[in-house]
Amino acid sequence: MRKSHITCITGFLFFFTVFGQEKPNILWITIEDTSPQFIGCYGNKDASTPVIDQLAKEGVRFTNAFSTGTVCSPSRSTIITGVRTFKMGSGNHRSNYPIPDFIHGFPYYMKEAGYYVTNNKKTDYNVGNVEQFTTEAWDESSYKAGWWNRKPGQPFFAVFNFMDSHQSRTMTMPYDWYIKNVWDSLPKGDRIGDNDFEIPPFYHDSPEMRKYFARVYNSIKLTDNKIGDLLNRLDKDGLRDNTIIFFYADHGEGIPRGKTNGINLGYRVPFVIWFPQKYKGLSPWGTSGAVSGELVDFEDLAPTMISLAGGKMPDYLKGRILLGKDRSKPVGHLELSSDRADNGPDMVRSITDGKYIYSRNFMPFVPQMRYIRYFEIADIVKQMRSDLSNGKFDSLQKSIFEERPPEFLFNIENDLWETHNLVDDPKFAKVLEKMRKELDTDIIKSRDVMFLPEYEIGQISKTGTPYEFRLDKKRYRLKEIYGAASLSGKRGKDIVKQQVRLLKSKDNIVRYWAMIGLRSQKKQILELYKKEIVNAMDDAYPPVSVTASAIAYQCFNDSEAEKKLNEFCKNSNMDIALMAINYLLYSKNKSPFIETIKAVHEMPDRNYNVKAACMDFLGILGIVENTAKNEN
């Protein structure tokens, strides 16, 4: 009896140890929509973030940490699965396509290793069958979840997500709502006034803009206060000495031109790791105010956590283990991605080495300030559009409302706000060529499935998963598809000739990218190929047909194209309807579609994105009032 009792105790102690030491508790503090340049420890003297700053002073601050997406659910898809969105097919915001059964939320593997894993509370994982997926991943996921319900002595992994810096607080909800929920929640001494900060140069500096932008600083201040409350509870429970703390944001700042945009402001996040004394040996960077320029992104989080827990590492995880005895080698560059956000389609792929960021805009006809309903209802965006129409902007401020170039290259060490595109500067030709090649190589190697239009991803998802489809080289001819996509945004007669030839391809997706590329060409050149474009309106593949119709209407004022677009707006497939309406958002003559858009908005089977695009269309014409309803 006594021997059995001793054996039981010994087994219990082994279960909760790893690498010959007690397993660490792990606390994740995640915040919403925040770029590092708005945090004190990253050099902003106007910010008030003493709690975050203290974590950095005692821990390790990372200067090159990046989200793998620029809006909530895609970035969280990579966080929870450890798989990049362009492999999973989860790059489009709130798309919820199926994933393979063998892919689990990474806390599942920590549970297997003996951890009590909790999430408080946000999920938004952008995967199919999300309820089952979430239940499998966590011991508890709720607003009451925390370390306090674990077994005695059991190590925990606890996530706390703070919403107070979210875009809803910083810009989208009405100003009165912000006053009640943010301003009034701050002690008077914590409040940051309208003139207590520098305003980014891509905004027009006016009293109105300062009033709206002050929301960013006060929302982050409230977040910092609440993080302090959580850490006080950790201290009160006597757990700080056994807990490694990770702090980061889910993507870049939730302001116009930040969140949803494939540039550094959309990708880069604050990221800090704090180690208690007993686990400082796990840090390869040192502690006590160490600063690391090592490249880190969200693909690295899952393998790092499983390794810390001593869990079994699944083969599908390709990210790095950041710390501990199994630490992976640092990398020289990262590939990042940005796709559809709500009702605003886009596709950007980026490469960064920490000093430069190169972004390839595959849909450059869409501006950085593209129509997204959740932005358009915000006072700050209304003010910006008013200032634009009244001629108050300089060339930089105006540029974010104009078509993008096909490529961006920014020196993000010297040009924090990304004001100077270096693509045409011969001094940076070698940097540009290097990053172009890195992006080409990475896209083919990863077999980026997001080069399929969302319509196609939806069709595949009826019987399989995008993740698995992309691996079938016979069905997914990525090299040929990418050859067509890589022309998109480039202009000139020779490019147009290639794109027109590609309209004869037997591959639906090649023809789609040929037509997407033609959408960026100048009207004068397209006139030479009017016949081919008009004929493509009858293409059997809907994404080709709707894009051809949009071009024929915009460039040739074709009456048949007008009819087709009206029908496409009412299409039973939401992806096709959304595509058609988005093209109309950027067309000059909207009047032939007003009644159709009104009718579509009232159709009971329309999803949020289609209805939001309708509201944007009607809002442009002043037919509807902008009001806040959805939260991203």
pLDDT for the residue numbered 233: 98
Question: How many angstroms separate the CA atoms of 444 and 496, rounded?
Answer: 24
Who's near 271: CB < 8 A, 6+ residues apart? 61, 62, 65, 246, 247, 248, 296
Question: pLDDT category, 394, cuts 50, 70, 90?
Answer: very high
> HEC states along 589-624?
CCHHHHHHHHHHHHCCCCCHHHHHHHHHHHHHCCCC
Mean pLDDT of all residues in 6-35: 70
pLDDT at 629 over 70: no
Question: How many angstroms separate the CA atoms of 456 and 449, rounded?
Answer: 10
Entry pTM: 0.95
Under a CB-based contact definition with an 8 Å cutoff, are residues 313 and 306 in contact?
Answer: yes
Question: How many angstroms separate the CA atoms of 447 and 87, rounded?
Answer: 7
pLDDT for the residue numbered 10: 39
Alpha-carbon separation of residue 86 from 95, 103, 347, 490, 617 (angstroms):
13, 15, 11, 23, 29
Mean pLDDT of all residues in 572-579: 98
DSSP for 428-458, written as a single string: GHHHHHHHHHHHHHHHHHHT-GGGS-HHHHH
pLDDT for the residue numbered 18: 52
Question: pLDDT category, 21, cuts 50, 70, 90?
Answer: low
DSSP for 481-547, written as a single string: HHHHHTTTT--SHHHHHHHHHHTT-S-HHHHHHHHHHHTTS-HHHHGGGHHHHHHHTT-SSHHHHHH
**Averaged pLDDT of the chain:** 95
Mean pLDDT of all residues in 229-256: 98
Share of the chain above pLDDT 90, in %: 95
Q: Looking at this protein, which amino acid is placed at residue 119?
A: N
pLDDT for the residue numbered 429: 98
Query: Where do the structural domains in the chain lie, given as residue ranges?
Result: 25-330
Residue given tokens 């460039």 in the structure block: 555
Under a CB-based contact definition with an 8 Å cutoff, are residues 161 and 32 in contact?
Answer: yes
Share of the chain above pLDDT 70, in %: 95
Q: What is the pLDDT of residues 530-567, one digit of tens each?
A: 999 999 999 999 999 999 999 999 999 999 999 999 99
Mean pLDDT of all residues in 4-29: 61
pLDDT for the residue numbered 624: 79
User: Two tokens at 324?
Assistant: 């501990």
Q: What is the pLDDT of residues 472-492, one digit of tens each?
A: 999 999 999 999 999 999 999
Q: Are strands 243-249 and 271-274 parallel, antiparallel or unpaired?
A: antiparallel
Mean pLDDT of all residues in 176-188: 98
Question: How many angstroms separate the CA atoms of 137 and 117, rounded?
Answer: 8
Q: Are strands 65-66 and 296-297 parallel, antiparallel or unpaired?
A: parallel
pLDDT at 83 over 80: yes
- End-to-end alpha carbon distance in the chain: 58
Cα angle 28-33-36, degrees, rounded to a multiple of 5: 80
**DSSP 8-class letter at 202:** T
pLDDT for the residue numbered 399: 98
Q: Looking at this protein, which amino acid is placed at residue 386?
A: S
List, edge to edge, every strand of the sheet that includes 116-120. Answer: 140-141, 116-120, 156-162, 25-31, 243-249, 271-274, 60-62, 290-292
Under a CB-based contact definition with an 8 Å cutoff, are residues 323 and 60 in contact?
Answer: no
pLDDT at 9 over 90: no
Q: Which fold has domain 25-330?
A: Alkaline Phosphatase, subunit A (3.40.720)
Mean pLDDT of all residues in 64-89: 98
pLDDT for the residue numbered 234: 98
